[in-house]
Amino acid sequence: MVKNSHDSYGYVSKSLHWLMALMVVALFSVGAYMVTLDYYSPWYKTLPFYHKSTGVVVAALLLLRVLWRLANLQPQPLPTHTRWEKALARVAHALIYVLLCGIVVSGYLISTADGRAISVFDWFSIPAAGELFLDQARIAGAIHEYLAYGLMTLVGVHALGALKHHFIDKDKTLKRML
């Protein structure tokens, strides 16, 4: 089934969920590693290039995902989910979207503060807006890093929640996203 139904996610939502999960974790790992490199490392220029290019693709997928979510039914929580589980899941999902948006925007502000466009895998470029406020690269950089660590913590809790439903409650919360 392509679209979501009242009790399950469709192929588009599932594909977007797992593709983005993979890309977001890869972006975090590469991002954390590339800031430790010095100028003489062969990866000093290539890793930021791939990090930024992949980040732009994730931004496009995020937009697609939000539009798809708005145009679709959202599967209902299972009747066995408690009130606090439903509330926590709602807040966590919303916060994941907010953090992803914040990471995309701050990433753009870091990369384009010096007026240089972002080349996406050498396919096309995203134009720079230049320095919009004082000390933009440093401030946006700090925000980008805090939000990324926040997102990874939240995703960890989110994954533990899914695993708890699967292995302890033995319900179909995880199965309907697979």
CB of 132 to ligand HEM, least distance (A): 27
Closest to ligand HEM by CB, 58 or 140: 58
CB of 118 to ligand HEM, least distance (A): 22
How far apart are alpha carbons 146 and 65 in whole angstroms? 24
Collapsing DSSP states into helix, strand and coil, what is residue 120? strand
Structure tokens at 157: 């809790």
Structure tokens at 102: 């914040």
Q: 125 forms bridges with which residues in the sheet?
A: 119
- Residue 26 sits at the vertex; the CA angle it makes with 22 and 30, to the nearest 5 degrees, is 175
How far apart are alpha carbons 38 and 99 in whole angstroms? 29
Per-residue CA distances from 115 to 3, 44, 118 (Å): 41, 20, 10
Closest to ligand HEM by CB, 40 or 167: 167
Closest to ligand HEM by CB, 52 or 165: 165
Residues binding ligand HEM (CB under 6 A): 13, 17, 20-21, 24-25, 69, 75, 89, 93, 96-97, 155, 158-159, 162-163, 173-174, 177
CB of 76 to ligand HEM, least distance (A): 9
CB of 174 to ligand HEM, least distance (A): 4
Closest to ligand HEM by CB, 22 or 142: 22
